[in-house]
Amino acid sequence: MPRTPIEIPESIEYLSVLDETGRLDRDLEPRLEEGLLLRLHRTMLLARRFDERLLSLQRQGRIGTFPPSSGQEAAHLGAAAALSPEDWMVPAFRELAAEIWRGRTLESVLLYNAGFNEGGHIPPERNDLPIAIPVGSQILHAAGIAWALRHRRTDRVAMVFFGDGATSQGDFHEGLNFAGVFSLPAIFVCQNNQWAISVPRARQTRSRTLAQKALAYGIHGIQVDGNDLLAVYAAAAEAVGRARAGGGPTLIECVTYRLAVHTTADDPRRYRTEEEVESWRRRDPLPRFQKYLADKGLLSEEGVRAAEEEVAREIQQAVERAEEAIKALGDPLDLFEHLWAEMPPTLREQREELIAALAARGGEETHG
């Protein structure tokens, strides 16, 4: 009985369309119309500047802890841009540009991070779940949503985001495994940003790539330059098209980098060098995409300046509107809301208790 090799036919590809020096592979370049390219740029810029503003608001104590997304915009925006509005998006918590692309308002982000549940509301026109904080747990929801979409004979798909750390979780395995077994229309987008707080990518797995894990589930997998919006878009569009056509799920590993802190409570100097961060700054997706648009003659220096002014204005207005909105959000009794379709008697009693406690304090405890 000899040892015989088992042929595993698939291999994993790495996709890069626009490299960090701005060189473009014209054969692989996705054909995106001008208006779409400019909207993508505009969203990326807005997300970057808004992220910076959130950081400064946090440092001033005006909002709470939040996870910045600077540096990863191409990875999540490029993927989300391949979805149609009827598709579903399941975020983790570092997909600011994708959420904005899908219609989340800046005010909603501000309210949420200022500690008001109201910021978690998903309006009916958005088929997106709210952010999911327990790492990797949302992967299963996307598989389940994709399952329901197929069951209902739609051609919609579900796309889920997670980080490199999530690939160590059991739910990652279970989600990809179920998606593979049932050939679900799901796209699993891993934003491999190299660090799970202080633990490097190499400490998550001995696998050479995260994308190759797809092979074990019998599904499609690809690694892309996650700071190259065109590459991410191309890979995602291919995966979405395949899922719509009944071709099953795809794992996309976007190789990117978290330029900022894990959350505002984190100090990355404890675990990574400034040289490393600097080397990734040179691969920043935003200037790279701006150069691409400039080379195509779609965006002049003047155009960039105008866009910067526009997003600065938009952010300022959102901050002002959010601060105004917060003044009307003082009702402490809101904490009992939205848990049940129908509030159980026990909870009604507890609600009455808070009403009485507030009355006893003369209403001083309402906060705005």
Partner 1 sequence: MAKLNLVQALNLALRQEMERDDRVIVLGEDVGRDGGVFRVTEGLIERFGEERVVDTPLAESAIVGTAIGMAVAGLRPVCEIQFDGFTYYGMHQIEAHATRLRWRSRGRFHVPLVVRAPYGGGVRALEHHSESREALWAHLPGLKTVIPSGPRNARALLLSAIRDPDPVLFFEPKALYRAFREEVPEEEETLPLGRSRIAREGGDLTLVAYGAMLRPTLEAAEELSRQRGAEAEVIDLLTISPLDDTLLVASARKTGRVAVVHEAPRSFGPGAEIVARLVEKAFYHLEAPVARVTGYDVIIPLFRREAYYLPDVPRIVQAARRLLEAP
Q: Which of 14, 59, 203, 271 is catalytic?
A: 271
Q: Which residues have a Cβ under 8 Å from the Cβ of 59 and sit 6 or more positions away?
A: 264
Query: Binding residue for partner 1 (CB under 8 A) from 148, 306, 355, 357?
Result: 148
Nearer CB in complex with partner 1: 244/291: 244
Q: Which of 48, 76, 262, 288 is catalytic?
A: 262
CA–CA gap between residue 344 and residue 334 (Å, rounded) = 15
Binding mask 298-317 for partner 1 (x = CB under 8 A): --------------------
- Shortest Cβ 350–partner 1 spacing (Å): 10
- Shortest Cβ 113–partner 1 spacing (Å): 14
Between the alpha carbon of residue 341 and those of residues 180, 336, 337, 344, the distances in Å are 34, 12, 9, 9
Q: Say whether 258 is catalytic.
A: yes
Nearer CB in complex with partner 1: 17/131: 131
Q: Say whether 271 is catalytic.
A: yes
188 lines the binding site for partner 1 (CB under 8 A): no
Q: Which of 258, 283, 288, 292 is catalytic?
A: 258
Query: Binding residue for partner 1 (CB under 8 A) from 46, 82, 145, 318?
Result: 145
26 lines the binding site for partner 1 (CB under 8 A): no
Count of residues that interact with partner 1, criterion CB under 8 A: 46
Binding mask 324-353 for partner 1 (x = CB under 8 A): -------------xxxxx--xxxx------
- Shortest Cβ 25–partner 1 spacing (Å): 36
Nearer CB in complex with partner 1: 186/224: 186
- Shortest Cβ 339–partner 1 spacing (Å): 5
Query: Binding residue for partner 1 (CB under 8 A) from 56, 117, 198, 300?
Result: 117
Q: Which residues have a Cβ under 8 Å from the Cβ of 122 and sit 6 or more positions away?
A: 128, 129, 130
Q: Say whether 262 is catalytic.
A: yes
- Shortest Cβ 115–partner 1 spacing (Å): 14
Q: Which two tokens stand for residue 42?
A: 């505009």
120 lines the binding site for partner 1 (CB under 8 A): yes
Residue 77 near residue 18, CB atoms below 8 Å: no
Q: Which residues have a Cβ under 8 Å from the Cβ of 88 and sit 6 or more positions away?
A: 127, 128, 129, 142, 145, 146, 149, 156, 157, 158, 159
Active site residues: 258, 262, 271
Binding site for partner 1 (CB under 8 A): 88, 90, 117-118, 120-124, 129-130, 132, 134, 137-149, 151-152, 158, 170-171, 174-175, 177-178, 181-182, 337-341, 344-347
